[in-house]
Structure 1
Amino acid sequence: MNRIIALAAAAALSLAAAPFATPALATTIIKAGHGTQTAHPTHIALQKFADIVAEKSKGDLKIEIYPDRQLGEEREMVEGLQLGTVDMAVVSTGPLVAFVPALGTVDLPFLFKSSEHAYKVLDGEVGQDLLAKFQDRGIVGLAWWENGWRSLTSKKEVKSPADLKGMKLRTMQNPVHIAAFKELGASPIPMVWGEVFTSLSQGVIDAQENPVTIVYSNSLWEVQKYMTLTRHVYGPHLVLFSQQVWDRLTPAQQTILKEALMEATTFQRQTSARLETEQLKLLADKGMIVEQVDITPFQEATANTASAFKNIDPAVVAKIKAAAN
């Protein structure tokens, strides 16, 4: 009995002398959704972003990526940001005008002269002011990524606005885009992206408009014969975060995310430009007829699109156009 007591006492002393074990810190997981395929530059850049965040946070933060509308269609993801059920999302401007009407400004046709012009505006005062407007909607606007320059795809050849007359053309659920295509003579049909391929194959719609990377990564050459390089709208992707989730992060974690996004933004834009060039050639290899077109009549037909929208400030439009100089 004395031996048992002695052993117990020794064990107790040993435990008392041992240093307390430091509990493992729990990893904060951030679920990031987007609506594009895994071959799209936004998905590739999110992977890069996740790697940077993991390295900078030493594993404290982990980004889990959910592509191809796994967290819902784009509008559903934005609503999820407001509710705190979606942590982070990268979405096109299509559904966002309903939340921040002034965002329609960047959707005006032929507003930007080049990608460099767009970057200058979106990374500058105009773009940052637009991102700040999301705060009133319970969303943190963090960065402007690139979906690309939007062009037309169709079942028949399009050389001028006259060729669009009566054409059933899918657009995003974006009133600015819808108004522009009405001015061009088309019959725009707003439709969520998940329905587009089937609608094209079944003849519900005749045409659609999107950047090269979307056309290629979704195999639209199977249901569209022509791609007309109108490049009528520069299409951003916005990196958004739920305000509820953001506020639960520490200041240090928020800083890591912002710094990582700066690196990932440059990478995303470079990847977008590279893939557009590569995939334009691949579309032709797949049998799609890719054509240049004189955009002047398209510009003239849509010159007054902005005047129909009270939330588009002419002074801001003038500032954007002046930045091209």
Structure 2
Amino acid sequence: MPVITPVRLAPLLALALGSAHAVEFRSADIHNSDDYPTVVAVKHMSQLLEQKSGGKHRIKVFNKGALGNEKETIDQLKIGALDIARVNISPMNGICQKTQVPTMPFLFHSVEHMRRSLDGPAGEEILKSCEEQGFIGLAFYDSGARSMYAKKPIRSVADVKGMKVRVQQSDLWVALVGAMGGNATPMPFGEVYTGLKTGLIDAAENNIPSYDSVKHYESAKYYSKTEHSMAPEMLLMSKLIWDKLPKAEQDMVRAAARESVAFQRRKWDEQESKSLAAVKAGGAEIAEVDKKSFQAVMGPVYDKFMTTPDLKRLVKTIQDTK
């Protein structure tokens, strides 16, 4: 359990006094680059919050995993030892059931479809569903399309058979790779580079900026565009911290978070273009795939996880979003 230090007590005491004093909220991110789109988006949110609160509140971003991996920061949010965290949606799958929906393979048929869906009623319902578990869902950020990468090209689902594939620590992702015929190997993001280098894993899957930012292309030069998931990032706040804020200040935090989304998307689109050029320059090869062969084996994944009328309704709502 995280230790609450005297430094950490200061913001907690301010909140206990009804936020009578200025608070510097702490926000966690695992990405190494200070220019990574999610990192700069939360910094932008801080600027917006300062403006809205008349200089009273701001956010300090601790990236590079300084406050722990994503699972650890989620645990800290739960007990109020951390204020805000940017995490991928997948580690929340076992905590808030409805977060499984945007993680489902091939749910979104384009980036534009994903953005429209998450900006609408379905996205709002998913964010709100985490409150009863101790988390305030502030916003969704883009995480691009995730694809497979390995030491050899993966051109159809048959090529995945028997491969040891790193996945996020989520039952859904284990099932997804299993449906492809691979051997899912859950591990933290920070261990993937070494895993690929040593042969502990044969492949991994992620978006182009992540593939670039930690130089996974040095050990797995073939990036195969399966685009099997557009699972978003989540910006979460501790409900324990949130509940101590006056309603007007809650509204400021939520508004600043939502206004930061468009900024993050612009940065994301720019970063994808830069990262694609960078990995190609670094020797990566981008391979097209038979996407239908992957889609054809995903039925069991939907059968296993989309088990309630609510989940099936959300899937249909997203699929029907124009």
TM-score, normalised by the number of residues in structure 2: 0.89
Q: Alpha-carbon deviation of 1:253? A: 2.0
1:20 is aligned to none
Q: Alpha-carbon deviation of 1:113? A: 0.9
- Among 105, 109, 115, the alignment partner of 2:111 is 115
User: Aligned with 1:204: secondary structure?
Assistant: coil
CA contact (8 A) 2:104 2:231 kept: no
1:266 is aligned to 262
2:130 is aligned to 134
Runs of 4+ in 1 over 3 A off after TM superposition: none
CA contact (8 A) 1:178 1:188 kept: yes
2:165 is aligned to 169
Cα distance in 2 for partners of 1:99, 1:128 equals 17
1:290 is aligned to 286
Partner AA of 2:216 in structure 1: L
2:98 is aligned to 102
Stretch of structure 1 that moved more, 30-39 or 233-242: 30-39
1:7 is aligned to none
CA contact (8 A) 2:165 2:182 kept: yes
CA contact (8 A) 1:40 1:214 kept: no
User: Aligned with 1:62: secondary structure?
Assistant: strand
Partner AA of 1:39 in structure 2: D
| Bigger radius of gyration among the two | 1
Cα distance in 2 for partners of 1:49, 1:205 equals 37
2:229 is aligned to 233
User: Aligned with 2:240: secondary structure?
Assistant: helix
CA contact (8 A) 2:70 2:91 kept: yes
Partner AA of 2:43 in structure 1: Q
Cα distance in 2 for partners of 1:40, 1:211 equals 13
Cα distance in 1 for partners of 2:260, 2:98 equals 26
1:313 is aligned to 311
Question: How far does the alpha carbon of each residue in 1:130-151 deviate from its partner, in whole angstroms, 9 at most, with x for none?
Answer: 1111111111111111121101
Which ranges of structure 2 fall in alignment gaps of 5 or more residues?
A: 1-19
- Among 28, 32, 38, the alignment partner of 2:27 is 32
- How much identity, in percent, do the aligned residues show? 30
Give the superposed CA RMSD: 1.5
Stretch of structure 1 that moved more, 48-57 or 69-78: 48-57
Q: Report matched runs for 1:157-196 at 5 Å.
A: 157-196=153-192
Cα distance in 2 for partners of 1:296, 1:53 equals 45
2:15 is aligned to none
Partner AA of 1:269 in structure 2: R
TM-score, normalised by the number of residues in structure 1: 0.89
How many residues are paired up?
Answer: 300
Which ranges of structure 1 fall in alignment gaps of 5 or more residues?
A: 1-24
- Among 86, 93, 102, the alignment partner of 2:89 is 93
CA contact (8 A) 2:165 2:185 kept: yes
